[in-house]
Amino acid sequence: MIILKLGGSVITKKEAPEPTLDHENLKRIAGEISDSLPSSLIIVHGAGSFGHPLAKKYRIGAPTSLEELQRKMMGFSIIQRWVKILNIHVCDALRKEDIPVVSIQPSSFILAYNGRIKHADPRIIISYLERGFIPVTYGDVVLDTDENLKMSVLSGDQIIKYLGETLKPEKVILGTDVDGVFDKDPKKYPDAKLLERIKSLKDIKYQPGKSEDVTGAMLGKIKELLLLAEKGVNSEIINAKKPGNIKKALLGQKLKKTIIDGDI
């Protein structure tokens, strides 16, 4: 089994103020997945512009005052709607390639405590896999049993970590908009060097992606993947914006990447 993450920055125009799909990338990626379909695959996608601006606007994941509760609940409802619409687009693109996708809505089966998955029932996803379906799940908003927070953002990366440790896949691939993790910010420094392997947070000298992204951008990703590596499941970060990379990664062919590796 392979778990493949499609980052929000890959399938949406992440910087757009409104939910905006990256049709072209999505179509190409669906084709690459179809060309190299493993016998067992789970796809997890991020929310990009369908989720992050709204999560920030409604302060989902921040402590909730009584005064803002009603507004925040409506925000939760609106975000749940938009990420579901993104999921429909992703499933449609994959179905056009004859991939038997099944949509799995995290907010229907996951509860969080203090922003982390506290209760989930993986049985349904396992059953779909056994039947030959390709489950497609995604970053979503979920209820939080912490009375202070009440609701939180569940990133696609945390889902990857949860599914990885629960299902023990052979491979976890994270498709992002960079070639992997660098020693400096590659968007600012052209001489930044790709780190081939990360075994701990100490391997990272700069603070990648210390941005306003509600899911913590690259640093959040690496933290989740290091937690996953501790459970014996390694993962690789690749650039899913470069044509051919998803296909190469699924087929186990050589490409630029960073491996997050727990074997110290």
CB nearer to a copy of itself: give 4 or 237.
Answer: 4
Question: In Å, how far are 71, 193, 203 from 11, measured between CA atoms?
Answer: 29, 26, 29
CB 130: neighbour CB atoms within 10 A? 9
Residue 231 labeled ligand binder:
no
Residue 263 labeled ligand binder:
no
Handedness of CA 7, 16, 139, 61 (dihedral sign): positive
Q: In sequence order, what are the residues at sequence separation of 6 or more whose Cβ sits closer than 8 angstroms to the Cβ of residue 84?
A: 105
Residue 221 labeled ligand binder:
yes
CB nearer to a copy of itself: give 134 or 255.
Answer: 134
Q: Do the Cβ atoms of 254 and 196 come closer than 8 Å?
A: no
CB nearer to a copy of itself: give 100 or 232.
Answer: 100
Q: In sequence order, what are the residues at sequence separation of 6 or more whose Cβ sits closer than 8 angstroms to the Cβ of residue 202?
A: none
Least Å from the CB of residue 185 to a copy of itself: 38
CB nearer to a copy of itself: give 81 or 205.
Answer: 81
Handedness of CA 12, 188, 229, 29 (dihedral sign): positive
Residue 55 labeled ligand binder:
no
Residues engaged in binding a copy of itself (CB under 8 A): 69-70, 73-74, 76-78, 80-81, 84-85, 88, 91-92, 95, 98, 100-111, 119, 121, 123-124, 127-128, 131-133, 143, 145, 150
Residue 107 labeled ligand binder:
no
Q: In sequence order, what are the residues at sequence separation of 6 or more whose Cβ sits closer than 8 angstroms to the Cβ of residue 108?
A: none
CB nearer to a copy of itself: give 17 or 132.
Answer: 132
CA distance 47 to 56: 13
Output Rg (C-alpha) for the chain, integer angstroms: 17
CB nearer to a copy of itself: give 84 or 248.
Answer: 84
**Three-class DSSP category at 45:** strand
Least Å from the CB of residue 34 to a copy of itself: 13
Least Å from the CB of residue 76 to a copy of itself: 7
Least Å from the CB of residue 33 to a copy of itself: 15
Least Å from the CB of residue 120 to a copy of itself: 9
Residue 242 labeled ligand binder:
no
- 76-85: burial string, b at 16+ Cβ within 10 Å, e else: beebbebbee
Residue 217 labeled ligand binder:
yes
Least Å from the CB of residue 242 to a copy of itself: 29
Binding site: residue ranges? 5-9, 47-48, 52, 156, 177, 217, 221
